[in-house]
Chains A and B, each alone.
Chain A
Amino acid sequence: MSELTLVEAINDAFHVELGRDPNVMVMGEDVGRAGGVFRATAGLRDKFGAERCVDTPLAEAGILGTAVGLCMTGWRPVCEMQYDAFSYPCLDQLITHVGRYRWRTRGGMEFPLVVRMPYGGGVRAPELHDDSPEAYYVHTPGVKVAIPSTPADAKGLLAAAIRDPDPVVVLEPKLHYRTMRGEVPAGEHVVPLGEARVAREGDDVTVVAYGAMVPVAEAAAEALAGDATVEVLDIRTLKPLDEDKLLASVGKTGRAVIVQEAPRVAGFGAELAAILAEKAILELHAPVIRVTGYDVPYPYWQIEDAYMPSVERVAAAVRKTLEF
């Protein structure tokens, strides 16, 4: 166990997984010589060679498309998309092929690739360095999606994604790459896909969040500590979703606030709210409330804080459900 930043934990996962399995390779823009623009892949090229940590041409659809072919020869490619919003060209391959190819072969071939990328705002960056694109990915059949919120989970979920037989997209909260430190188990560390985590226990209301919104939810819970006990549920894996823990927590508290950084319309929060409506309606004491980004392009960074779900907005939503 050692204390690492979130991006150091990701780098640690890579060193462990590439050392463990000679079929794992890393590919993407600037991942080799530079070690990634955030240094997530630092040291891999020197340690494992340029053929297993590959600087690719600047072509996101080409990266994911060639990864499909690499899988056909037994490789387990981990593709870095340099930023959330730069990943959109790869949606072509993801939707038309990555999520379908195993099905096309009636299970005859597997495509155990990983697409990982830094996501989310709050980093005072130029346009299109701030998106939360998880809904596009989670809506794609055949593809799993994980979003860690802590350094330990960043390592463990990436390791699980690399070992998973299916394609997995991992979105990493770039805001916390270097601002969050935490204890991370040394050596092999796997957090299984499909298991949510109770980040904070409480009895009065459940705040459901993932990724960069988990610390916001925790801070809101702390701010309300004198008035109510707030449970924070970190979803961790959007697909497969841990419905049992979601229903158990909301069954216990009877109230739910869902926080997502992405725009509200048809976001993953809507899916969570729909599940609660279908399966927990009689246990709810108040309507489910969503706290989300807005249905607008992610704003200029001088006013981006107004867009991001804040501690104040989450706390206000919690009070609203408690007062219903």
Chain B
Amino acid sequence: MAGVLPAEGDLYRVIGDGETVPDGEVEGLDERDLLELYRWMVLLRTYDERSLVFHRQGRIGTYAIFWNHEAMQAGSVYALERDDWIFPSYRESAIGLLRGMRAATILSWWRGHPAGWWNPLDYNVASICVPIGTHVPHAAGLAWGKKLRGEAACAIAYFGDGATSEGSFHEGANFAAVMRAPLVLFCNNNQWAISTPLSAQTAAEALADKAAGYGMPGVRVDGGDVLAVYEVTRDAVGRARAGEGPTFIEAVSYRTAPHATADDPRAYIDLERVEEEKQRECLGRYDAYLRRVGVLNDELAESTRAEAAEALRAGIAAAEAEPPADIGLVFEHAYASPPPSLESELAELREVLGE
């Protein structure tokens, strides 16, 4: 395993390196929890790897890869209750799997089929946010609204390092802090915004330092360490529920894959660093940890992978079995009470198409 880079020396970690750095442990997590986290990570990893294949086979459209981001997603969601709300960006497109969403739904989203739009109320998972950072105010508003209603639920918003340059991030973070809204701001700092490195994104030494400007705590955690991510998120959720307001979590990781299937990072990325990071990718680290503590063996690992592979086989089959969407859906759902012109336009379109 590669050594820790100097700039990452202060990151919070639980999982050791199996050699000189000893493993820690997280109080309150038993063997069942540890294996559930493993199952989640394997499910996300399988989803991501299969999606890349499905894209190459022409079965889904452009896809935003999240390989090596699984620890951040699984670890943080595991710290939430079912009533808590998740606000994903496109990098967390499959996070609904951790709330029981079918793979077919998310694959349909990437297939551009209306079946890919879920009702957030069914999962407490907001719609995938495409424009960077613009969902941070939504999460702040939802958390604030829950607080006004006296409900215990909190919200978590996921965004990348590039999003911290956006005005929306700033406005959402500031609103949450001023309203003492129960929000977790989860920054997945994978150090690249398409081709723009973190050094071109900010002059701050650490993104977590921004938290001080909002009057909230900022913590830095190893984004490849699922147990550390779980623990810092659990602490942040605890603060939120105690009425202490939002927390900014900077989870430091590394984007070892292209930004999306349409991107070729060879033009801008340090391939040696990518290889180094791949050697210490998050699922492998957790797998090794679980074997060291005697919780995982080959048989269990294999059956977990097989279960995930089957979910994806069934998922793509179901997504491809969706009947073509009726063109009426072009006109539906934008309004609860639509302007009358939409009805006549649909009728005209059907007539022209001979339907």
Chain A interface (Cβ within 8 Å of chain B)? 51, 56-57, 59, 61-62, 64-75, 89, 92-93, 96-97, 99-110, 141-142, 144, 164-166, 194, 239-241, 243
**Residue among A71, A97, A99, A102 with the most chain B CB within 10 A?**
A97
- Contact between A74 and B175 (Cβ–Cβ < 8 Å)? no
- Contact between B137 and A66 (Cβ–Cβ < 8 Å)? yes
The yes or no answer to B334 lying at the interface (CB within 8 A) is yes
- Contact between B167 and A61 (Cβ–Cβ < 8 Å)? yes
The yes or no answer to B276 lying at the interface (CB within 8 A) is no
Report how far A240 CA is from B335 CA in the complex, Å.
11
Residues in B neighbouring A70, C-beta threshold 8 A: 141-142, 144-145
CB < 8 Å neighbour of A69 from B119, B145, B338: B145
5 additional contacts (CB under 8 A) given A66-B172, A69-B139? A65-B141, A73-B145, A100-B334, A105-B333, A166-B335
The yes or no answer to B341 lying at the interface (CB within 8 A) is yes
Closest B residue by C-beta to A73: B145
Residues in A neighbouring B131, C-beta threshold 8 A: 92, 96
The yes or no answer to B164 lying at the interface (CB within 8 A) is no
Residues in B neighbouring A109, C-beta threshold 8 A: 119-121
Closest A residue by C-beta to B146: A73
Residues in A neighbouring B141, C-beta threshold 8 A: 65-72
CB proximity of A80 to chain B, nearest CB, Å: 15
Closest 10 pairs between A and B when the two form their complex, measured CB to CB: A69-B141, A65-B137, A108-B119, A62-B171, A73-B145, A66-B141, A165-B336, A69-B142, A240-B339, A59-B171
A105 and B171 contact, Cβ closer than 8 Å, known pairs A70-B142, A165-B337, A239-B339: no
**Residue among A57, A69, A104, A105 with the most chain B CB within 10 A?**
A69
The yes or no answer to B201 lying at the interface (CB within 8 A) is no
- Contact between B145 and A104 (Cβ–Cβ < 8 Å)? no
The yes or no answer to B1 lying at the interface (CB within 8 A) is no
- Contact between A65 and B120 (Cβ–Cβ < 8 Å)? no
Closest B residue by C-beta to A111: B336
Report how far A194 CA is from B178 CA in the complex, Å.
38
16 cross-chain CB contacts under 8 A: A57-B174, A61-B168, A64-B137, A65-B175, A69-B143, A70-B145, A72-B142, A89-B167, A92-B167, A92-B168, A93-B134, A105-B120, A107-B333, A107-B336, A110-B336, A241-B341
Classify the interface of chain B: helix, strand, loop or mixed.
Answer: helix
Residues in A neighbouring B134, C-beta threshold 8 A: 65, 92-93, 96-97
CB < 8 Å neighbour of A65 from B121, B140, B333, B335: B140
- Contact between B114 and A106 (Cβ–Cβ < 8 Å)? yes
Closest B residue by C-beta to A61: B171
A72 and B138 contact, Cβ closer than 8 Å, known pairs A89-B167, A243-B341: yes
Report how far A239 CA is from B340 CA in the complex, Å.
10
The yes or no answer to B7 lying at the interface (CB within 8 A) is no
CB proximity of A299 to chain B, nearest CB, Å: 29
Residues in B neighbouring A99, C-beta threshold 8 A: 334
Report how far A107 CA is from B121 CA in the complex, Å.
11
Report how far A107 CA is from B127 CA in the complex, Å.
12
CB proximity of A132 to chain B, nearest CB, Å: 21
Report how far A107 CA is from B171 CA in the complex, Å.
28
Which residues 160-218 in B have Cβ within 8 Å of A in the complex?
A: 167-168, 171-172, 174-175, 178
**Residue among A65, A92, A105 with the most chain B CB within 10 A?**
A65
Residues in B neighbouring A61, C-beta threshold 8 A: 137, 167-168, 171
- Contact between B144 and A69 (Cβ–Cβ < 8 Å)? yes
Which residues 290-348 in B have Cβ within 8 Å of A in the complex?
A: 332-341
Closest A residue by C-beta to B332: A107
Report how far A108 CA is from B336 CA in the complex, Å.
10
Report how far A56 CA is from B143 CA in the complex, Å.
15
Report how far A6 CA is from B131 CA in the complex, Å.
38
CB < 8 Å neighbour of B333 from A64, A69, A89, A106: A106
Residues in A neighbouring B148, C-beta threshold 8 A: 51, 73, 75
CB proximity of B338 to chain A, nearest CB, Å: 8
- Contact between B167 and A102 (Cβ–Cβ < 8 Å)? no
Closest A residue by C-beta to B338: A240
Residues in A neighbouring B85, C-beta threshold 8 A: 72
- Contact between B174 and A72 (Cβ–Cβ < 8 Å)? no
- Contact between A72 and B334 (Cβ–Cβ < 8 Å)? no
- Contact between A105 and B334 (Cβ–Cβ < 8 Å)? no
A73 and B168 contact, Cβ closer than 8 Å, known pairs A97-B134, A107-B336: no
